Amino acid sequence: MSGRRLSRLGEQLRRELSTRIQYQLRDPDVGSLTVTGVDVTEDLWLARVYVELHGSLDQQDRTLAALGRAAPFLRSVLGRELRIRRVPELRFQRDTTIEDGRRIEAILRDVMPPGGGPDEP
């Protein structure tokens, strides 16, 4: 499958999963989250679902575990809704890009002189 088609499938899975998690999961351990992206392998066997988790670290861990338990249910729902030959196995992972960006920004703030920017001599 081409990279463009995989990208489109990943985006479609992201939208569907966001909706299904919000409206169809009844697990009380599923806390506040945002599905930020889905990477699908070329053979369609695996989809890594990246989620931004909100709340305490304990709540985030419970949410991630609950999503893992709900993966077979979500996969079956996707199988009924989407027109693809094979629905990939879903693996949920914490998306740390925002946290990483904040860390990098803090490091840059510490390294750069006050009032000095990249455009200033």
pLDDT digits (tens, 9 = 90+) for 53-76: 998 999 999 999 999 999 999 999
Is 117 contained in some domain? no
| Owning domain of residue 72 | 3-111
Separation of alpha carbons 42 and 65, rounded Å = 26
CATH number at residue 88: 3.30.300.20
Read off the pLDDT of residues 17-54 as tens digits, 9 standing for 90 and up: 999 999 999 999 998 999 999 999 999 999 999 999 99
Global pTM reads 0.82
Is 10 contained in some domain? yes
Is 59 contained in some domain? yes
Inform me whether the pLDDT recorded for 81 exceeds 80. Answer: yes
Phi, psi of 67 (to 5 degrees): -65, -40
Number of domains in the chain: 1
Is 28 contained in some domain? yes
Separation of alpha carbons 5 and 40, rounded Å = 10
